[in-house]
Amino acid sequence: MVLLSASVCGLRRLLVMCETYAASHGLKYNILKSQYMVFESGRKDKNEIPLICLHGTPINRVNQFKYLGHVLATDLKDDLDIERERRALSVRANVIARRFAGCSREAKVTLFRAFCTSLYTCSLWAHYTQRAWGALRVQYNNAFRALLGLPRHCSASGMFVEARVNCFYTTMRGRATSLLRRVRGSSNTVLRVIADGLDCDYMSHCEGLHSPTSVILW
């Protein structure tokens, strides 16, 4: 369960509500597994946070947390989660290349599409460094090369076109577009606020992924 609040006082009130509900239903929260984060706002006093307690016991403060498989950081940057997915992609690609080395080229391409292009939660990435982004792109290209047994110096764009597989940039655009379409088509009031916000960083990021030179493959 996640509680979100714009202030410490608000978070404390939410915790009191949770304590009351738990007591009336015979439940008990695990304090050792409960943590809280303070998202940075540029203020110099960001470390001066009063104690936040659950059942009278202070909760541990952390700088990063994995929620539903997605790594959240206090600076709201996505480098840590991109690195998580890069490592996961490397593992998946190596397992497929080793176990299905004797399969046909068509079977390997199908396996790559199924297991190496999902890039879990990639549609949420909006704030990252070019170093983290580039490392994932290189891993994506190398995964395809390793699976098909291609040399490392071969053209990335050429091999994807020849195999009729989406390249890294096309895959990322597709994931972002899919999420953007669902957000704009949702009847949820919170999502509507995000979709209609002209100054939304995420919306600006999604639009920036689509350049005039983009080519959609198959």
pLDDT tens-digit readout, 10-62: 999 999 999 999 999 999 899 988 999 998 876 555 567 888 999 889 999 99
Ramachandran assignment for 76, one of left (phi > 0), alpha (psi -120 to 50 degrees), beta (any other): left
Position with higher pLDDT, 205 vs 18: 18
Q: What is the pLDDT of residue 4?
A: 92
Q: How far is C-alpha 27 from the chain's CA centre?
A: 32
Q: Flag whether pLDDT at 215 surpasses 50.
A: no
Residue type, 101: A
Helix (H) or strand (E) holding 192: helix 189-196
What is the C-alpha R_g of the chain?
A: 22
Beta-carbon contacts of residue 64 (< 8 Å; ≥ 6 apart): 37, 71, 72, 73, 74, 80
**Domain limits, the chain:** 8-62, 79-208
Measured CA to CA in angstroms, residue 5 lies from 12, 94, 108, 161 at distances of 9, 42, 47, 47
Which token pair is 71?
Answer: 């790594």
CB 120 within 8 A of CB 85: yes
Position with higher pLDDT, 77 vs 202: 77
Q: What is the pLDDT of residue 128?
A: 92
Position with higher pLDDT, 216 vs 149: 149
Residue pLDDT, tens place only, 140-196:
999 999 999 999 888 988 999 999 999 999 999 998 888 888 888 888 888 888 777
